[in-house]
Amino acid sequence: MTKRVRKAVVPVAGLGTRVLPGSKTTPKELLNVVDRPILSYVVEEARAAGIEHFVFVTGRGKGAIEDYFDHHIELEAQLAAKGKTDILADVVRDLPKPGEMSFVRQMAPLGLGHAVWCARDIIGDEPFAVILPDMLMMAKTSAMAQVVQAHEKVGGNIIAVEPAPAGETHKYGIVALDGREGRLNRMTGMVEKPPLGTEPSNLLISGRYVLQPEIFALLARQGKGAGGEIQLTDSMVELMKAQTFHALEYDGITYDCGDKIGLLRANVAFALARPDLADAARAAIRDLL
């Protein structure tokens, strides 16, 4: 029997260099897509996957994330007094139950692997989800739920993947598969940003994982890898010597909101997908074009 995935690590301590200067004072994970911060969509996706506890790995200047997931007494009282009940409902929609979220400081953005390691004490000895919040996913069934379902089926470690745009595999973490049949396949390796022509497949690592707790011991002694950062990929490659990894080609579309054009695309796509905004959004886009 596989243990249920109850907790998610959400690393939010990165510098957001690609969307500066906006991310200088607003954490990039709180930038709006239409009218909600990116993290609002991500938390909703994770809850739909059965996640009960969120561990945010934060850093300097990210305090607004904690505030977003807490009551704003004055604002809520004002909205209630003015009878703006719809807006009030939207404002409190993402609030956790008390105790459902933890915040740990990474203290220096040494890389994704280091960020995940910072959550070790709160996760303890159980399988857990990792969600990279800047990868925003539009899917009929929550992307994280698809990964959790795959874990319930085959156990071990699961990584969500998707086809990379043609000629762009060198920009991503890429997986190697032991044969490719259907959407869930056993992995034999993975590599961070392989030079063009050396990529083991066209499938990039999308930013949703289920990992086993044994990863923490490997992260503890992981040295710097690609880009001088402590890479999660390097420890996953180590763990693969002892445990199974499966890649799930998840059903949905990813928007990289850590990138200027990715964020723009996400705004357009999510506005067009909103019944209350689709017509006006389409008219505005047509007008601009």
CB nearer to ligand UTP: pick between 65 and 177: 65
Q: How far apart are the C-alpha atoms of 111 and 249, rounded to whole Å?
A: 25
- The minimum distance between CB 135 and ligand UTP, in angstroms, equals 8
Q: How far apart are the C-alpha atoms of 208 and 129, rounded to whole Å?
A: 7
- The minimum distance between CB 286 and ligand UTP, in angstroms, equals 31
CB nearer to ligand UTP: pick between 115 and 203: 115
Q: What is the DSSP string of 105-161?
A: E-SS---HHHHHHTTHHHH-SS-EEEE-TTEEEE-SS-HHHHHHHHHHHH-SEEEEE
Contact 159, 175 (CB under 8 A): yes
CB nearer to ligand UTP: pick between 17 and 78: 17
CB nearer to ligand UTP: pick between 76 and 168: 168
Q: Which stretch binds ligand UTP (CB under 6 A): 15-23, 174-182, 212-220, 241-249?
A: 15-23
Q: Is 109 in the site for ligand UTP (CB under 6 A)?
A: yes
**Of residues 123, 145, 114, the one with CA closest to residue 50:** 145
Three-state secondary structure of 11-79? ECCCCCHHHCCHHHHCCHHHCEECCEEHHHHHHHHHHCCCCCEEEEEECCCCHHHHHHCCCCHHHHHHH
Q: Which stretch binds ligand UTP (CB under 6 A): 78-86, 107-115, 151-159, 246-254?
A: 107-115
Tell me how far apart the 2 most distant CA atoms of the chain are, in Å: 62
Site string (126-145) toward ligand UTP, x via CB under 6 A: ------xxx-----------
Contact 231, 115 (CB under 8 A): no
When binding is defined by CB under 6 A, the residue of 5, 7, 8, 11 that contacts ligand UTP is: 11
Say which amino acid occupies 239: L
> Three-state DSSP class for 103?
strand
When binding is defined by CB under 6 A, the residue of 37, 111, 173, 262 that contacts ligand UTP is: 111
- The minimum distance between CB 202 and ligand UTP, in angstroms, equals 21
CB nearer to ligand UTP: pick between 37 and 109: 109
Q: Which stretch binds ligand UTP (CB under 6 A): 9-17, 64-72, 188-196, 246-254?
A: 9-17
Quote the distance between the C-alpha of residue 57 and its chain's center: 12
- The minimum distance between CB 209 and ligand UTP, in angstroms, equals 12
- The minimum distance between CB 17 and ligand UTP, in angstroms, equals 3
* Site residues (vs ligand UTP, CB under 6 A): 11-18, 29, 57, 106, 109-112, 114-115, 132-134, 258
